[in-house]
Amino acid sequence: MKLATLAKGALTKALVCGVGTLAELPDDRLLPGLAAIRTHGLAHVLPGLKLENQPIQFTLLRYHAGRRAAIEVRAGQRHFALKVGATDPSSEVEIHEALASAGVASGLGARVPPLLAWNRELRVMAIGWFDGPSATDLIKRGQGELAGELAASWLRRAASLKINLGPPLGAPRMLERARKWAAVVAEADNSLKAKASELVTMLAQTQPREGAPRLVNGGLYADHVLDLGDGPGVIDWDRFGQGPLELDAGIFLATVSRLGFRGKSSPGEVARAEKTFLSSTAALLDARAIAWHRAAELLRFAKKTADTRRELLHEAARLAESLR
């Protein structure tokens, strides 16, 4: 399992550390947690883990200078993840605690990793580790149907949760953000300016009606849905909020589409994942609203990804056009 897909160019150096060699972790003054771990050791930063004097192996999974780092940790028989950030993690801690209270951080079936310990001042969280391939991995292996069913299973579980935490993440906010994303696309490639503007117009004209909001992950990438053998595990809750489940569905399908455009998965497996997911959620979700949120998310990917920007934008426009 990966805490999340490694960013292109991310640092991935395994560091087998005793207390005296923690200086090999990135030296980043904007991430006080990293500095404290380097100087004093993880046991001092998170005493609740009760690591004592165990040898610790660190593997840096992701590192965005001045913003955040994700680190895999092995300490004796224990295996967990560290999230170190530049901002207060209290809201992410709160959602983990709420999910645990709802019984979603333990047992079998659809679940999230448990929160193990945290330090608010140093902005560090320790979270349980999930072993298992991601939906992305499954699609690449020729198991698209299983990938789609895992994501659908999570949304069926999410539909039963009554957790009222997080900012609004409905269509109005997505539309507001879509206008900004379109401007970025236009600035990056002037030949796509008209298409991006047209897409935003279509999204505005076809904005779905939404009922009572629910808890959404807000970043339900195919990389964040893991096969635990007895159900899905969903990781990375730093973008959670209140919105329609169709938002998470659209985000999941947008990431699946992106796999196809990147040429990293066969079109057949991508299609199987999409078909299984849509058929398994047909009784729960509004297909038109899913398509709307999927189109908006594809626009977000288009503003970030130069090599497939044109393809992503055209697919988003195709979806939006189908809603007219």
State pLDDT tens for residues 41-90: 999 999 999 998 788 889 888 899 999 999 999 998 899 999 999 999 99
Neighbours of 76 (CB within 10 A): 11
Closest CA to 271 of 147, 137, 132: 147
Instruction: Examine the pLDDT at 11 and tell me if it is beyond 50.
Output: no
Rounded to an integer, the average pLDDT of 205-216 is 95
Instruction: Tell me what pLDDT residue 106 has.
Output: 92
Closest CA to 90 of 251, 214, 240, 223: 240
The CATH number assigned to the domain with range 14-128 reads 3.30.200
CA distance 66 to 68: 6
Q: Higher model confidence: residue 61 or residue 110?
A: 110
CA distance 221 to 294: 12
Structure tokens at 146: 């299983």
Instruction: Tell me what pLDDT residue 23 has.
Output: 56
The CATH number assigned to the domain with range 135-322 reads 3.90.1200.10
Instruction: Examine the pLDDT at 7 and tell me if it is beyond 50.
Output: no
Q: Which residues contact 83 (CB under 8 A, 6 or more apart)?
A: 3, 68, 69, 70, 89, 92, 124, 125, 127, 238
Closest CA to 237 of 130, 133, 107, 144: 130
Instruction: Categorize the per-residue pLDDT at 5 as very low, low, confident or very high, splitting at 50, 70 and 90.
Output: very low
- Beta carbons of 150 and 224 less than 8 angstroms apart: no
pTM of the model: 0.91
Range(s) of the chain covered by CATH 3.90.1200.10: 135-322
User: For 265, which DSSP code?
Assistant: S
Q: Higher model confidence: residue 12 or residue 114?
A: 114
Lookup result for tokens 């500095």: 35
Instruction: Tell me what pLDDT residue 265 has.
Output: 72
Instruction: Tell me what pLDDT residue 315 has.
Output: 97
253-291: pLDDT as tens digits: 999 999 988 876 788 999 999 999 999 999 999 999 999
Instruction: Tell me what pLDDT residue 26 has.
Output: 87
Instruction: Categorize the per-residue pLDDT at 1 as very low, low, confident or very high, splitting at 50, 70 and 90.
Output: very low
Helix (H) or strand (E) holding 124: strand 124-128
Instruction: Tell me what pLDDT residue 20 has.
Output: 33
Range(s) of the chain covered by CATH 3.30.200: 14-128
Instruction: Examine the pLDDT at 218 and tell me if it is beyond 80.
Output: yes
- Beta carbons of 309 and 302 less than 8 angstroms apart: yes
Instruction: Tell me what pLDDT residue 12 has.
Output: 39
Rounded to an integer, the average pLDDT of 92-109 is 96
Neighbours of 145 (CB within 10 A): 17
Instruction: Categorize the per-residue pLDDT at 17 as very low, low, confident or very high, splitting at 50, 70 and 90.
Output: very low
CA distance 315 to 199: 10
Instruction: Tell me what pLDDT residue 285 has.
Output: 97
144-187: pLDDT as tens digits: 999 999 999 999 999 999 999 999 999 999 999 999 999 999 99
Summary mean pLDDT of the chain: 91
Instruction: Tell me what pLDDT residue 22 has.
Output: 62
